[in-house]
Structure 1
């Protein structure tokens, strides 16, 4: 069992980390800049896990996760990286794996190049974790479907050009009752709302999307009728693994900053590093980081090997998201009163980490998936 990265992976990681240091943070959640988005595309983040023939980099799950981890460790804004990850894993991957050949040809190159922004429209006001009961309906008509319903917390929603969304096509169909679609923003009957005022991940705009008898042609269906859950769960395998590499990079930065701080800061006539409770807290931060990293890399390896990654993905998502919150809070304790000052950036890291235990399936949902994987 080899735990080391190859020379190529190390080189790619270092290059991305250095490039990320040159990406300025967004100053306002109300501002979305296409030039910054295309810059992410130029670094390969918007099409990393897409074959070269469709305009991507042709990387597998592990190499894609490493890119996002490196970009985050390099200091790229967590919200901006989250926006890119939602675009790639929740939207581009479903188009790649389930769209018709002509639809892939029409959409994928522009999505990878940053010419198009994709929005993930799954969550509904009354359906967060319970994605099996979607109120949005898709009614079959000649040549396509009419969509009616409301989606909330749509990542990239206010600025997206394409929405990957899900709607009930058979209310009695259970697992096979929903269908996935890729819908153009300018489709009649589609209304994208203004950005929500969020406390974290500000650079990823999120908003409401309303469908009112919105016509979607048959060639924009992803997969076949009734395969919505399959499309969604497949995308979640990528999102719950690769996206959370962002939080590995964030933790790496926080640990490094805390190490520097406790070496320099003195209290009670000693360095903070010499105080046992502080050293213990630092050890816990490192343990959480490396444990989560091993689980996430294993989950990605299972995807790349064509195995069923469900158990490893759930464990990785749970471990990394919980670690991100705990480590951000620990950093706040280590920095003390300074953690409340915006100039130190610790409070921002806490706000960016807190949603990690909710989106892409809550921690309790991951525990249910783990229990199921254990045969309970």
Structure 2
């Protein structure tokens, strides 16, 4: 069995109702704006898959999380992106729980108990700005804070139950500092605006979430010192890259599988495609095994894998589509959609060019600093 087949088996064993739904539903419906995939993911118990058992979750390991994302990516890219946002948010909450004040643990327990979906307004890619510095501001007021800002794109924009947001607090006295706000979607001042215009990944609900003078009480704000904030942010970022890589890898596994089923990919061509995908997956497994004990090297490793994977997935996709042929490409929208989505992998922050200088410093024996 290929690793992708093991991933599909894990999905069937862990979330059987979701696996059945994905198998029985047409690709076009799964990827359309009316898709029910996210709701089925929630109802099937997907929200608790990566949450540790001590909080009431299913307690999947990081490697099992990779396999789960691969299986989702192969069936529904939009669901993989949306579910990946939730899983990244869960991983970040669990990282923060190691140094937090207990609020994160209570949130994780509530997420499992009520099958809540969590979105994230942490860093985003903006030209010329650090991806680790939030553009969302929080002003201190009586009994709490008033938060304003925009996160775009923000997957799960419509279906989220809880939003975790990194904010720059502007206190009444003293210097601004970093904190994390936990905000229920029903809170007054939160709205969703149309943002995603691309014809693909429509079902991921990647829109703009607007925070307009949203009040957050002291009890829902976690203050983190600068060193712990940076470490938690980096740990969460490594999780984001791991989950994102797994999602896109699964998408290309799905493409290769469909091409094989249609008899367009076989023999040496099939072997070459699988060799590249299997080797890439094993590199993710190596990082997954480091997730409980991350070091400076873990960040460098996942970035190296991510940038190499961009080239591998582009190559396998191009070769596979050339064998699928023009008539099949024209008559089946799946192939054109996957081609566009795989290219979008390049746009996730941080861009390769932006990280060449920091990585060169790391390869010369210095600390790796995120930009």
Q: Who is 1:255 aligned against?
A: 256
Q: RMSD of the TM alignment (CA)?
A: 3.5
Q: d(CA) in 1 for partners of 2:231 and 2:108?
A: 20
Post-superposition CA distance 1:159-199 (Å, at most 9, x none): 3222122222369xxxx953322222222332222362323
Query: Kindly tell me: are residues 41 and 151 of structure 1, through their superposed partners in 2, closer, same or farther at Cα, counting changes over 3 Å?
Result: closer
Identify which range, 356-365 or 17-26, moves more after superposition. Answer: 17-26
Q: d(CA) in 1 for partners of 2:113 and 2:84?
A: 14
Count of paired positions: 349
Q: State yes or no: 1:316 paired with 2:305.
A: yes
1:38 to partner: Cα distance:
4.8
Q: State yes or no: 1:361 paired with 2:350.
A: yes
Confirm or deny: 8 A CA contact 1:237 1:310 kept in the other structure.
yes
Q: d(CA) in 2 for partners of 1:152 and 1:222?
A: 23
Confirm or deny: 8 A CA contact 2:125 2:348 kept in the other structure.
no
Q: d(CA) in 2 for partners of 1:291 and 1:104?
A: 36
Secondary structure of residue in 2 paired with 1:341? helix
Q: d(CA) in 1 for partners of 2:200 and 2:327?
A: 19
Q: Who is 1:53 aligned against?
A: 54
Post-superposition CA distance 1:102-126 (Å, at most 9, x none): 5345532453467422222235685
Q: State yes or no: 1:295 paired with 2:294.
A: no
Q: State yes or no: 1:327 paired with 2:316.
A: yes
1:80 to partner: Cα distance:
0.7
Query: Kindly tell me: are residues 22 and 185 of structure 1, through their superposed partners in 2, closer, same or farther at Cα, counting changes over 3 Å?
Result: closer
Confirm or deny: 8 A CA contact 1:191 1:211 kept in the other structure.
yes
Q: d(CA) in 2 for partners of 1:46 and 1:325?
A: 31
Q: d(CA) in 2 for partners of 1:167 and 1:137?
A: 5
Secondary structure of residue in 1 paired with 2:202? coil
Secondary structure of residue in 2 paired with 1:158? coil
Q: d(CA) in 1 for partners of 2:134 and 2:284?
A: 30
Q: Who is 1:285 aligned against?
A: 273
Q: d(CA) in 1 for partners of 2:65 and 2:126?
A: 33
Q: d(CA) in 2 for partners of 1:17 and 1:284?
A: 31
Q: Who is 2:90 aligned against?
A: 92
1:63 to partner: Cα distance:
1.9
Confirm or deny: 8 A CA contact 1:148 1:213 kept in the other structure.
yes
Q: Who is 1:269 aligned against?
A: none
Q: d(CA) in 2 for partners of 1:141 and 1:113?
A: 32
1:298 to partner: Cα distance:
0.8
Confirm or deny: 8 A CA contact 1:244 1:317 kept in the other structure.
yes
TM-score of the superposed pair, with normalisation by structure 2: 0.79
Q: State yes or no: 1:116 paired with 2:104.
A: no
Query: Kindly tell me: are residues 9 and 249 of structure 1, through their superposed partners in 2, closer, same or farther at Cα, counting changes over 3 Å?
Result: closer
**Matches of residues 61-210 of structure 1 in structure 2 within 5 Å?**
61-73=62-74, 75=75, 77-89=76-88, 91-98=89-96, 103-104=103-104, 106-112=106-112, 115-123=115-123, 126=126, 130-169=130-169, 177-194=177-194, 196-210=196-210
1:300 to partner: Cα distance:
0.6
Query: Kindly tell me: are residues 67 and 223 of structure 1, through their superposed partners in 2, closer, same or farther at Cα, counting changes over 3 Å?
Result: farther
Q: d(CA) in 1 for partners of 2:247 and 2:156?
A: 17
1:28 to partner: Cα distance:
5.9
Q: d(CA) in 2 for partners of 1:127 and 1:121?
A: 17
Confirm or deny: 8 A CA contact 1:129 1:361 kept in the other structure.
no
Secondary structure of residue in 1 paired with 2:216? strand
Secondary structure of residue in 2 paired with 1:150? strand
Confirm or deny: 8 A CA contact 2:125 2:350 kept in the other structure.
no
